[in-house]
Chains A and B, each alone.
Chain A
Amino acid sequence: MNNFIDDFRNSEIARKMGSMLSSYRGRPVTIMEVCGTHTMAIFRYGIRALLPDGIRLISGPGCPVCVTPSYYVHAAVTLSQRDDVIITTFGDMMRIPATAGDGSRGESLLSRKAQGNDIRIVYSPLDSLKIAAENPGKKVVFLSVGFETTVPVIALSVLKANEAGLDNFSVLSANKTVPEALKVLSVDSEIGVDGYLYPGHVSAIIGTGFYDEIAERYGIPGIVAGFEPLDVMHAIISLASNINNKKIVVENQYCRVVTREGNPVALEKMNEVFEARDAVWRGIGCIPGSGLQVRDKYSKHDAWKVFDLRQEAGNEPKGCLCGEVLKGKRTPKDCGLFGKACTPENPVGSCMVSSEGTCAAYYKYGGI
């Protein structure tokens, strides 16, 4: 693993690629990096600073925390206040404030934890099973957010809970899948994407077949890229060149990990436990077939059903442009709250909460 890190961070090659990027003289192109991990890598390695005027990078909706609707956060905060519930979650979810009825900032899981509710950060959903086994008198609810990269292991934890008879374990799913969202973005003329930088890790699960459909149906080329600086720079150079040459193809630059078929074992687990449903993406709205719900067969592990919770659209925070930012239509700097009322210490919108959120990335690494 370390060799992979070093090889793809080679300083000398990186500098050469940096000057190739800077000397781009083609027509102006707009490239969307779909995934939050790419957004982070682009900032972390200072790649944005190397881009010429002709290449515009916009950040897509690929940060799972950012697209999680406010009603979900509200449901999680409400559940956390029950004495019979232990919430388990990835760390990113802790700081998002729920939105109160009047659009003002509500409570977050972090503030509920400080007030004594049992909320535990886990590194893998499978850790929740141990907690469920140790606390038979409690109901353990895992906050299930994330894309195809995360879903297979969540599915695995449901299957294991089912096998072990851990009926006190359930997941509150707000999981989403990338393909349907891409279709919506592709037909939005206001965004005007010329090419997609596809996420390497999602592609490792779902394969690259779907991206061909995007290229064929919508005429938008793309490239699957890893997350090291050389990966990202090489991908941007290749994609910009393909756009210029009207080469509508999907290239797989991350072939050390990604295959056309993806990971059939992971997909099988995912499909065993989850089925597609319509899903609300924060700031974007409802996209048919873009979410995942637990199949009826496993309903005793579906927290929405176990606790009879409603999924209904709630309020978005006043003045927050997260929706526009998530679609790549505006940048964080266009938002009146950015850096003032909304900072990583006191986030208003979800894009400021997750370290992979576009606003957080702009705030943390921008400013020069």
Chain B
Amino acid sequence: MPDIITLAHGSGGKLTHNLINDIFARHLANDILKQGDDAARFDLPGGRTAFTTDSFVISPVFFRGGDIGKLAVCGTVNDLAASGASPLYLTCGFIIEEGLPLDELERIAASMGHTAKECGVKIVAGDTKVVQKGAADKLFINTSGIGVIASGIEVSGSYAKPGDRVIVTGNIGDHGCTILLEREGLDISSDIQSDCAPLNSMLEEVFSITSDIHVLRDPTRGGLATTLNEIAVQSGVGIQLYENQIPVRDEVRGICELLGMDPLYMANEGKMIVIAPEGPADRILEILRKNRYGMNSRIIGEVVKAPAGRVVMKTVTGGNRVVDMLVGDQLPRIC
């Protein structure tokens, strides 16, 4: 077998089979995937089901703290977890640009297998297509996932209520900042790495002490600011933030200052926003902080009645400012 992906790997012939057996089956194997039929068959436990899909097109495919494979598993697992579901099964589709070194594909598949194991999910079906050079950027991955929601759990972006506390499960902006530095080849030395992580088991720990949680959402693209705006609009409430409570790593703050970016709008891949009534908020915080992915969890604000649909932040000066959604991309400024 040549050591790069060629169009022949996507032809459905012998090379395709080799690719599936040598790489995907080896790293992702489980009893359902082994069925080897056109569709995976399985029974779901009773109760309500959550079902979601996401596509991953990140450049570079390897970055500090993760890779596109880990991201593709965590992203879909976290979307399920944010619906209050325990993720069970994932599918994955690969669109590969010809010329991708096989060892890179293997590292990515291994990373997916490893992450799926950590999450306790099985990858039960998959598909591979190879496209001509230039028709994709190395590798695109789509994952879909299915999970079940335990009885008593009712979360939605439209359930935030005045008086609720807003918790974020750790430092914001690490992923966005890491990718920015790597993509642009900026000559800044730093120790930051992507926070890419699966959050399902942490949230299951929280649900084991209370189901009194109104909203869960992971602040990925668009960052904390955009996600909170979505929630404020969906719930028809205002959100009041306290700038001095929002956890941001010093390096991230420094890099954002230099480049004219705002950490509030930087992507996260291993953080969750938890909105819950004041009563259980402190206990939730305690549980989150015991988990390796939630050690720096903080209450960063509260849900208020007005102004409905807006996020307002009390700044360090004591003044207020509106925190709007991200428009377009954050673009580096001139001075």
Answer whether residue A82 sits at the interface, using C-beta atoms and an 8 A cutoff: no
B322 and A123 form a contact (CB under 8 A) = no
Can you list, as one digit per residue, whether each of A1-39 has a CB less than 8 Å from chain B (1) or not (0)? 110010001110011011000000000000000001100
State whether A45 and B319 are in contact (beta carbons under 8 Å apart), knowing that A1-B254, A5-B257, A91-B333 are contacts in the complex: yes
Neighbouring A residues of B319 by C-beta, 8 Å: 18, 45-50
Which of A17, A150, A366, A367 is packed against the most chain B CB atoms within 10 Å?
Answer: A367
Report B258-269 CB contacts with A as 1/0, cut-off 8 Å: 011000000000
Chain-B contact segment, one of A70-78, A141-149, A290-298: A141-149
Q: Name B253's contact: one of A5, A17, A145 (CB within 8 Å).
A: A5
Tell me whether A229 is interfacial, beta carbon within 8 Å.
Answer: yes
B312 contacts across to A, CB distance below 8 A: 368
Cβ-defined contact, A95 with B328, below 8 A: yes
Task: State in angstroms the CA–CA spacing of A9 and B243 once bound together.
Answer: 11
For residues 89 through 148 of chain A, which have their beta carbon under 8 Å from a beta carbon of chain B? 90-92, 94-95, 121, 123, 145-147
**CA distance in complex: A248, B126 (Å):** 74
Flag whether A44 is at the interface (Cβ < 8 A): yes
Residue among A46, A50, A90 with max Cβ neighbours from chain B (10 Å)? A46
Does any Cβ of A come within 8 Å of B334's Cβ? yes
Contacts A90-B334, A123-B184, A354-B333 given; does A45 touch B315 at CB 8 Å:
yes
Measured in the bound complex, the distance between the Cα atoms of B315 and A11 in whole Å is 9
In the complex formed, the residue of B with least CB distance to A230 is B317
A17 contacts across to B, CB distance below 8 A: 317
A46 contacts B333, C-beta separation under 8 Å: no
Which chain B residues in 316-333 approach chain A with CB under 8 Å?
Answer: 316-322, 324, 327-329, 331-333
Q: What bracket does the count of chain A residues touching chain B fall in?
A: 35 or more
Choose among A14, A36, A37, A364 the residue that contacts B317 (Cβ–Cβ < 8 A).
A14
CA distance A342 to B66 in the complex (A): 40
- Tally B residues with Cβ within 8 Å of A: 31
Q: Does B250 contact A (CB under 8 A)?
A: yes
Q: B310 an interface residue at 8 Å Cβ cutoff?
A: yes
In the complex, the chain B residue whose C-beta lies closest to that of A51 is B319
**A64 proximal to B (CB < 8 A):** yes
Q: Which residues of A contact B11 (CB under 8 A)?
A: none
> Is A221 in the interface zone, CB < 8 Å from B?
no
Given contacts A49-B320, A233-B317, contact A149 B335 (CB under 8 A): yes
**Complex formed: what's the CA distance from A186 to B319 in Å?**
31
Q: Decide: A147 near B335, CB < 8 A? Known: A17-B317, A43-B321.
A: yes
- Give Cα distance in the complex from A147 to B334, angstroms: 9
* Assembled-state Cα–Cα distance A229/B257 (Å): 14
Q: Which of B253, B257, B321 has the most CB of A within 10 A?
A: B321
CB proximity of A33 to chain B, nearest CB, Å: 14
Q: Is the CB of A366 within 8 A of B335?
A: no
CA–CA, A106 and B307, complex, Å: 36
In the bound complex, CA of A138 to CA of B4 (Å): 30
Encoded as 1 (CB less than 8 Å from any A CB) or 0, chain B from 180 to 193 comes to: 00001010000000
For B318, list chain A residues within 8 Å (CB).
11, 14-15, 18, 46, 50
Residues of A within 8 A of B329 (CB): 91
Q: Which 6 A-B pairs have the closest CB atoms?
A: A46-B319, A91-B331, A14-B317, A344-B327, A91-B332, A15-B318
**Could you name 25 residue pairs across A and B whose Cβ atoms are closer than 8 Å?**
A2-B253, A2-B254, A5-B253, A11-B244, A11-B316, A11-B317, A11-B318, A14-B317, A15-B317, A43-B321, A46-B319, A49-B319, A49-B321, A121-B331, A123-B259, A145-B334, A149-B335, A201-B335, A229-B316, A233-B317, A355-B331, A365-B322, A365-B324, A366-B322, A368-B320
Query: B residues bordering A, Cβ < 8 Å?
Result: 184, 186, 244, 250, 253-254, 257, 259-260, 307, 310, 312-322, 324, 327-329, 331-335
- Identify 8 new A-B residue pairs, CB closer than 8 A, beyond the known A18-B319, A46-B321, A50-B317: A5-B253, A90-B331, A123-B332, A149-B335, A150-B335, A343-B327, A364-B322, A368-B321
